[in-house]
Amino acid sequence: MSAPVNHSALTLKVLAECSVTKARACQLSLPHSVVDTPVFMPVGTQGSLKGITPEQLENSGCQIMLGNTYHLGSNPGAELFDKVGGLHKFMGWKRNLLTDSGGFQMVSLVALSEVTEEGVRFSNPYDAKDMLLTPEKSIEIQNSIGADIIMQLDDVVSSTISGPRVEEAMGRSIRWLDRCIEAHKKTKTQNLFAIIQGGLDSRLRTICLNEMSKRNVPGFAIGGLSGGEDKNDFWKMVTLSTDFLPKHKPRYLMGVGFPVDLVVCSALGCDMFDCVYPTRTARFGTALIPTGKLDLKKKGCAEDFRPIDENCSCSTCRQFTRAYLHTIVTKETVASILLTIHNIQYQVFFCRLTVIDTCGFYLFLGTRGGNINIIIII
């Protein structure tokens, strides 16, 4: 392996650690701004967060958000990003961005995709042309988009699959990681994260962890989970990974975003999370609250003159009642925007409140986490 490179594009400072669980509060310094972890990252697929302006997003406390390489690579395309100088400039977002590799969307959204050692071959839905996404191509597009954190192209298989395909995908992901590292041109401004694969198999996960942590990447993601597998298997793979991964580098658990999962996985030592859930559910008229969910379409909200959450300081809760939101939810675009603002602020602060000092987190699990009965195997 090559000699360790000084990755000045990221520093992680552990501020506090829970004495009971593996939870930790950190300060993650990225090129555009500092991020307090554990952090929830909302997903702005196509270079915008569903009606929210960058200013509103900043005000809701968000420090880092996601963009999807598959979508952005198609519209407006890498060439446009080269012209304008990256997605930050294009959308006017001053804080941090993270892009995925494009691989997951390819496999989940596009029919006729075929994975070979070369890359992922698919038929572009926009012009029906045959295209090949290689590790090199993915990094090239991500370099153009210019996010602070970029992801390796990995060979993703569903967590419900077992058999030799899982091992094949894990092995290939390691080889693709090396190709991504090789292809990455902007190490001073963009951090390339590795993605641990291996399905629900401890042996395979361990091999992957072993191999990938030998590569000197600034951070690691735990991938291939959150796809409908049994929760008991899910926790096991998460905790196995965090046991192994270096403490001084951030751990990003991909696709995890329900509040319960955020609490538990923070306890298991994860620092970063992303999920479409809060923004998607907002558009369907559901707000996130400490006791779970509030469906604003329900008749019960029609004469409820309280805000969504009396303890929430977001602009939606400061101005509007559930009764008002009930009159416009799913009918006026402003309703979607108001609920999205609330859900993002709620989720971001929920995550931040998992702060931790020696006993704080453990207590947190008991009170704000609601009724959770879980046994954590550490």
Partner 1 sequence: MKFSLRSVSQRGGRLATISELGRHGDKTVTTPMCLVFTQAGTIPHLTNDMVQKLGKHAYPVHLPLPLLLESHEILQKYSNGIGDFLALKHHLLYLSVQDSTIRPPEGFNEKSFVSLWGRSGRLNVDVDKFMSVQEAFKPDWYQALCDSDAGKVGSRKRAHKSVERTLAYLDRCLEKHKESEVLRHSCIFGSIEGGSVAEERELSAKETAKRPVAGFVLEGLDTNGPLDSVLPLCENGKKEIIQSILNELPDEKPRILHGPLDPANILAAVELGIDIFDSTYAFLVTERNAALTFCVSPDTESMASNVGKLQDSCNLQRNLYETSLTDKIFKDDFRPLVVGCQCYTCTNHTRAYVHHLVNVGELLGKTLLMLHNLYHFLRFFEVIQLALEEGTFEKLQNMIATRHCN
The secondary structure of residue 2, as a DSSP letter, is P
Residue 181 binds partner 1 (CB under 8 A): no
Task: Please tell me whether residue 109 binds partner 1 under the rule CB under 8 A.
Answer: no
Cβ proximity to partner 1, 45 vs 206, nearer residue: 45
How many Cα atoms sit within 13 Å of 26 on the Cβ side?
Answer: 25
Q: Is 216 in the site for partner 1 (CB under 8 A)?
A: no
The piece of 70-78, 157-165, 179-187, 286-294 that touches partner 1 (CB under 8 A) is 70-78
* 351 in contact with partner 1 (CB under 8 A): no
Check binding of 32 to partner 1 (CB under 8 A): no
Binding residue (CB under 8 A) for partner 1 from 51, 171, 227, 290: 51
Instruction: Give the pair of three-digit tokens for residue 213.
Output: 């942590």
Taking CB under 8 A as the rule, does residue 338 contact partner 1? Answer: yes
Report the b/e string of 312-339 with b at 16+ CB within 10 A: bebebbeebbbebbbebbeeeeebbbbb
Phi first, then psi: what are they for 121, rounded to 5°?
-100, 130
Q: Is 313 in the site for partner 1 (CB under 8 A)?
A: no
- Residue 196, classed as helix, strand or coil, is strand
Q: Does residue 274 carry a catalytic annotation? A: yes
What track of x and - describes contact with partner 1 for positions 264 through 303 (by CB under 8 A)?
--------------------------------------xx
3 state SS of 348: helix
- What character string, x for contact with partner 1 (CB under 8 A) and - otherwise, covers 247-266? --------------------
Question: Of these, 323, 352, 360, 374, which contacts partner 1 (CB under 8 A)?
Answer: 323
Q: Does 116 help bind partner 1 (rule: CB under 8 A)?
A: no
Q: Which of 100, 154, 261, 309 is flagged as catalytic?
A: 100
Name 289's bridge partners. 292
Burial 344-354 (b: 16+ CB within 10 A, else e): bbbbbebbbeb
Q: Give the residue, chosen from 315, 360, 362, 374, that forms a contact with partner 1 under the rule CB under 8 A.
A: 315
- Of 148, 261, 274, 309, the active-site residue reads 274
- Determine if 110 is a binding residue for partner 1 (CB under 8 A): no
56 binds partner 1 (CB under 8 A): yes
Q: Is 346 in the site for partner 1 (CB under 8 A)?
A: no
202 touches partner 1 by CB under 8 A: no
CA-wise closest residue to 263 among 28, 38, 65: 38
Cβ proximity to partner 1: between 173 and 340 the closer is 340
Tell whether residue 330 is a contact of partner 1 (CB under 8 A).
no
328 binds partner 1 (CB under 8 A): yes
Q: Does 53 bind partner 1 (CB under 8 A)?
A: yes
Measured distance CA(68)–CA(320) in Å, rounded? 32
**Residue 178 annotated as catalytic:** no
In terms of CB distance, is 161 or 323 closer to partner 1? 323
What single string gives the DSSP state of each residue in 223-282? Answer: -S-SSS--HHHHHHHHHHHHHHS-TTS-EEETT--SHHHHHHHHHTT--EEE-SHHHHHH
Contact 277, 31 (CB under 8 A): no
- How far, rounded to the nearest angstrom, does the alpha carbon of residue 3 sit from its chain's CA centroid? 30
Q: Per rule CB under 8 A, is residue 325 in the interface with partner 1?
A: no
> From CA 59, how far away is CA 19, in angstroms rounded?
33
User: Which tokens belong to 293?
Assistant: 């969910």
Question: Is-cis flag, bond preceding 246, omega within 30?
Answer: no
- The residue ranges that bind partner 1 (CB under 8 A) are 46-56, 71, 75-76, 80, 83-84, 90-92, 302-303, 305, 315, 319-321, 323-324, 327-328, 331-338, 341
Q: Which residues are catalytic?
A: 100, 274
